[in-house]
Amino acid sequence: MRALQFRRNLPKYAAAMVAGGVVPGLGARVGPLRLADVDEPDLPGPGWRRIRPRLAGICGSDLSTIDGKSSRYFEPIVSFPFVPGHEIVADSDLGRVVVEPVLSCLPRGIDPPCSFCAAGLTGSCQNIALGELESGLQIGYCADTGGGWSTAMVAHESQLHAVPDAMSDEAAVMVEPAACAVHAARRPAVDQPETVVVLGAGTVGLCTIAAVRRHLRPGTLIASAKHPDQRKLAVELGADVVVEPGEVRRAVRRMSRSPMVGDSVGEGAEVVFDCVGSAGSIDDAIAVVRPREHVVLVGMPGRVALDLTGLWHKEVRLAGAYAYGQESTGERTFDLAFDLVRDADLGRLVSATYTLDRYRDAIDHAANAGARGAVKVVFDLRGERNR
Amino acid sequence: MSRPGFVLEVDRSTPPILFHHGEGFRLERLPAGSRVVYPAEPVAPLKDPDAAIRHALLNPVGDSQPLPSLLHSGMKLTIAMDNQAVPLPPMQQPDNRQRVIEIVLDMAAAAGVDDVELIVAHGLHRRQTEAELRHMLGDRIYDAFAPHGMLTQHDAEDHDNLILVGRTEQGEHVELNKRAVTSDLLIYVNVNLVAMDGGHKSTMTGISSYRSLKHHHNVTGMQHSRSFMDPPNSELHNSTWRMGRLLADAVKIFQIETTVNTDTFPSQFAFLQKREWEWSARDRASYFGVSKSLERVPPRIARSIFHGIKSPQKMTSVQAGEVEAVHKITLENVHRQHLVPVQGQADVLTMGLPYVGPYNVNSVLNPLLVMCLGLGYFFNLYRGKPLVRQGGVVILSHPTRWEFHPVHHPSYIDFFEQVLTETTDPLEIEKKFEDDFATDPWYIHLYRNSYAYHGVHAFYMWYWGAHALQHVGQVIIVGGEPRAVRRMGFKPASTLRDALEMAEDVVGRNPSITHIHNPPIFLADVT
């Protein structure tokens, strides 16, 4: 089968790190990612099924990996070589399915499950390097499962969600990022807050805006967006005020009608979702959040240098929001995500599709999506040979 | 005798025309057939201004007694004065206000008046620093009054010290500084730089509250002020006159108005006062020396050089007494200096904007102030009809950097970032955003305790251009930072030639062009 494969190759990884540091996406040209004919993965055990991806998205975490920017935190929880791609809509013997990629206790054949999986919190599974599979926190980072950037892969039946006939492939491929956003929106235990801020308006940011509007129902939702198309989409998805990233502190100050204390907003927002994950965005988040309230890191931050004095002084609650599972209401995040994709028409965020042959162009497009008026770039496997 | 202003028709022998361009200048070749409106040369100043002041105080006009007969022991006397928004640039010492107030204080002392308070009539402008006050009033006045709290700066948000005088028949609230209104005599001292200034507008803007100001500082009023430099045809003035008359019925007011000539720039910038074909070798050398030097220094340094300029303009008249009678004479004196007859409108109006306007003394002429200076003040420097036809194009020349003074103009930054991204329509802006900004406690805090313009002041900058925005078809800024220019809904152009080509898309081929050679200031009398 044809697949984009990421191998352990330190010199190439170093080259990707240098190239990706200069031009985002350039790591695809010099790094360890390659298009290859490889064997289809074996079925790891009972309950596993072979599926054939139709569309597979390119995520920010994929781009970090390709450009050599991933945190070393991931070293023990990935296995090489792996086929990237965890935003997947695929054909299976059950029909069209969306994959919930977390490789938790159940797919790993671990029984009894860890306390988190037992509670339905599969995103917090502590056995992601154990069991019948090689290490891998998700499909797309595990050597045994393959990934979405290929013509074939395997997934456990517990990971498969049937796609309604009325839902297009483009909408279905947005279910996984939408699930991340729903989980993030549900992360702080607040309802109808006065002011919420979403920093960043890439795929994660836009999905989070849509999720926050529907799940938190804030009085005012302020979003930051770099590019004109992002601004337009942010408003369409539920932002009341959209500003440029450098303007967010003043916007929050004005909307909250509070004083400034140095560079920090005195009253600020009850919840800030950081969908960028840079030192600057986290710094902004801490500056604009109301004392004792919530900053949620939705975008994968990696290694950043921060002055945390403000966090300490304002007693800010800093939380991560990773993946999905079961929310506190007992609902499965993916079920809520299907609703969000349909209600907010998130399929429109798919801006471009590429074949595997053009993976370098695809990565380049995805790495510069905002500036090029795009949001989600996906691989289209529907016409691939050997599928 | 000074030569009057006039209109030059450009031909092939006309040298390049000087355009102000922020903290710099440009020499531009205008197409043959273009017209350039030149200001009058500075009229002769008063030979003995102090004697003229005494004469005015002793021989008031209108229904007013001489000042000494209004002063008596045990009375409460308040002297309010224009702030540093006029004249521009700030004048060399002694400022007109210092001259007048020193003589008034001498008379008050002679009459045994000891309850005297001075109020700088800021309206919603920022407070002045000690250095700025000392420059405006002189050390003697400052040292005698400021340390004792008797030199104050009007605070439009100090509700304990505001008083509602009443409401006009049109329902306009006249709410003013309590000290001024409850005095036995209110003396107002002004510097009438342009025809918009003075009269009842002085008190109605300078010592009033936001509640009062909004009756005349609003979009509809500005759109019906044609122009606000021509009081009989200005809704701004109609409103302030109604309100001012109500005040005059309640308080004894003695108005002292002064005018200045247009001797605007000191000798090292003498070329700015001259017509280009009359530049001497020394003027040309000065121009090139100054221009080249300014190009080599960062804008911050250039700005500091320019804001160090103190204008040599001199007092040309002083009149005192009843407000309206005084102001009638004042306007005649302003017109004597400023009026330039111009026949007909043009398709395209060009103007070079300098580094300073009324709201950025010792500060940054930010993009909103560029808009206000160009489409507010300069566009409205007409009587009769605008210099540019309905649907025509205005071309401004200014660097228009995305740069704001964070202390002086905090609400301007938010207005620029958060309001103009939604709409540039003045009426929509007024309806949707004004109240929110005007009542924001943080802006109020900064206005009262720091050196910030009031939160609503940024809106007034936009409203000041509302008539022009309604009138013209397009606004182009030459040499402006594209991002900042576009944020305001205007078009950027690199050169004047590009701008003129762009203008042709709106007004057609071979448009008629009028350039206003300003400053020094003039008022076009367009027929």
| Per-residue confidence (pLDDT) for residue A261, from 0 to 100 | 85
Query: A102 pLDDT band (50/70/90 cuts)?
Result: very high
Give the phi and the psi of residue B65 in degrees, each rounded to 5: -85, 160
List, in order, residues 6 or more apart from B70 with CB less than 8 Å away.
Answer: B185, B252, B254
Quick check: helix, strand or coil at residue A3? strand
Q: What tokens does A49 get?
A: 């099924």
pLDDT of amino acid A305? 94
pLDDT score at A385: 75
Chain B hits for A241, Cβ within 8 Å = 418
First vs last Cα of chain A: how many Å apart? Answer: 7
Asked if pLDDT for residue A61 goes beyond 80, the answer is yes
pLDDT in tens, B161-178: 999 999 999 999 999 999
Q: pLDDT, tens digit, for every residue of A201-226?
A: 999 999 999 999 999 999 999 999 99
CA angle A336, A340, A341 (to 5 degrees): 120
pLDDT at A198 over 80: yes
Checking if the pLDDT of B17 tops 80, the result is yes
Q: Hey, what are B163's tokens?
A: 């008083």
Two tokens at B414?
Answer: 């938010």
Predicted confidence band of residue A317 (pLDDT cuts 50, 70, 90): very high
Percentage, residues of chain A above pLDDT 70? 100
Q: Which amino acid is at A239?
A: A
pLDDT digits (tens, 9 = 90+) for B252-291: 999 999 999 999 999 989 999 999 999 999 999 999 999 9
List residues of A whose CB lies inside 8 A of any B CB.
241-244, 247, 250-251, 253-254, 257-260
Average pLDDT over residues A15-22: 94
Mutation test of the interface with chain A: which of B404, B411, B415, B421, choosing the one with the most A Cβ atoms within 10 A? B421
Best residue in A197, A249, A254 for a mutation probing chain B (most B CBs within 10 Å): A254
Flag if B442 and A251 touch (Cβ within 8 Å): no
Could you tell me the sign of the dihedral formed by the alpha carbons of B67, B69, B74, B76, in that order? negative
In the predicted model, is pLDDT for residue A386 greater than 90?
no
Task: Specify the pLDDT at position B464.
Answer: 98
- CA–CA distance, B233 with A251 (Å, rounded to integer): 39
Closest Cα in chain B to A243: B418
Residue of A51, A1, A41 lying closest to A157 (CA atoms) = A51
Average pLDDT value for residue range B78-89: 98
Residue spans of the domains in chain A: they are: 2-176+328-380, 188-320
A247 vs B contacts (CB less than 8 Å): 417-418
Look at residue A277 in the predicted model and tell me its pLDDT: 94
Complex prediction ipTM: 0.84
HSE, side-chain direction, 13 A CA sphere, residue A40: 15
| Statement: residue B72 has pLDDT above 90 | yes
Average pLDDT score over residue span A121-143: 95
B437-463 pLDDT, tens per residue?
999 999 999 999 999 999 999 999 999
- Ranges of H-type helices in B270-322: 281-296, 299-307
Q: What percent of chain A has pLDDT over 90?
A: 95
CB atoms within 10 A of CB B190: 28
Banded model confidence at residue A189, pLDDT cuts 50, 70, 90: confident
Q: Which residues of B touch A (CB under 8 A)?
A: 413-414, 417-418, 421, 436-437, 440-442, 445
A/B interface, count of CB pairs below 8 Å = 29
Q: How many CB atoms lie within 10 A of CB B93?
A: 14
Cα-based torsion angle of the residue sequence A370, A373, A378, A380 in order, rounded to the nearest 10 degrees: -160
Question: Residue B373's closest CA among B347, B406, B157, B363?
Answer: B363
Please answer yes or no on whether A259 and B417 come within 8 Å at the CB atom. Answer: no
List, for residues A269-284, the tens digit of each pLDDT value: 999 999 999 999 999 9
Q: What are the beta bridge partners of residue A243? A: A224
Beta-carbon separation of B441 and A259 below 8 A: yes
Over the stretch B463-478, which tens digit does the pLDDT of each residue have? 999 999 999 999 999 9
Superfamily of domain B49-260 in CATH is LarA, N-terminal domain (3.40.50.11440)
CA distance A178 to chain B (A): 28
Kindly give, in sequence order, each residue whose CB lies less than 8 Å from that of residue B163, ignoring residues fewer than 6 positions away: B175, B176, B177, B178, B181, B182
Residue B348 is predicted with a pLDDT of 98
Q: Which of B412, B417, B422 to mutate to test the interface with A (most CBs of A within 10 A)?
A: B417
CATH class in words for A188-320: alpha beta
**C-alpha dist (Å) from residue A374 to A175, A347, B459:** 18, 13, 35
Strand order in the sheet with B382-383: B339-342, B523-526, B382-383
Q: pLDDT (tens digit, 9 = 90+) per residue, A32-54? A: 999 999 999 999 999 999 999 99
- CA–CA dist A308, B334 (Å, integer): 60
Give the CATH number of domain B6-42+339-526; options: 3.40.50.300, 3.90.1150.10, 3.40.50.720, 3.90.226.30. 3.90.226.30
Judged by CB atoms closer than 8 Å, whether chains meet at B417 and A253 is answered as no
Residue A384: its pLDDT value, please? 87
pLDDT in the model for residue A299:
87
Residue A302: per-residue pLDDT? 83
Tell me how far the alpha carbon of residue A327 is from its chain's centroid: 17
- Strand A195-199 to strand A220-224: parallel, antiparallel, or no bridges (unpaired)? parallel
Local confidence band at A297 (pLDDT 50, 70, 90 cut-offs): very high
CATH homologous superfamily, domain A2-176+328-380: Medium-chain alcohol dehydrogenases, catalytic domain (3.90.180.10)
Given an 8 Å threshold on Cβ–Cβ distance, is A254 in contact with B445?
no
The per-residue pLDDT for range B283-340, each reduced to its tens digit, is: 999 999 999 999 899 999 999 999 999 999 999 999 999 999 999 999 999 999 999 9
For B180-197, the pLDDT digits (tens) are 999 999 999 999 999 999
Contact residues, chain A, for B413 at CB < 8 Å: 250
> What does the pLDDT look like over A238-270, one tens digit per residue?
999 999 999 999 999 999 999 998 889 989 999
**pLDDT-derived band at B392, boundaries 50, 70, 90:** very high
Q: Indicate the average pLDDT of chain A.
A: 96
Question: Average pLDDT, whole number, for chain B?
Answer: 97
pLDDT at B339: 98
**DSSP for B210-266?**
HHHHTTTSSHHHHHT-TTTTSGGG-HHHHHHHHHHHHHHHHS-EEEEEEEE-S--S-
B491: three-class secondary structure by DSSP: strand
pTM: 0.91
Q: What single DSSP character describes residue A128?
A: T
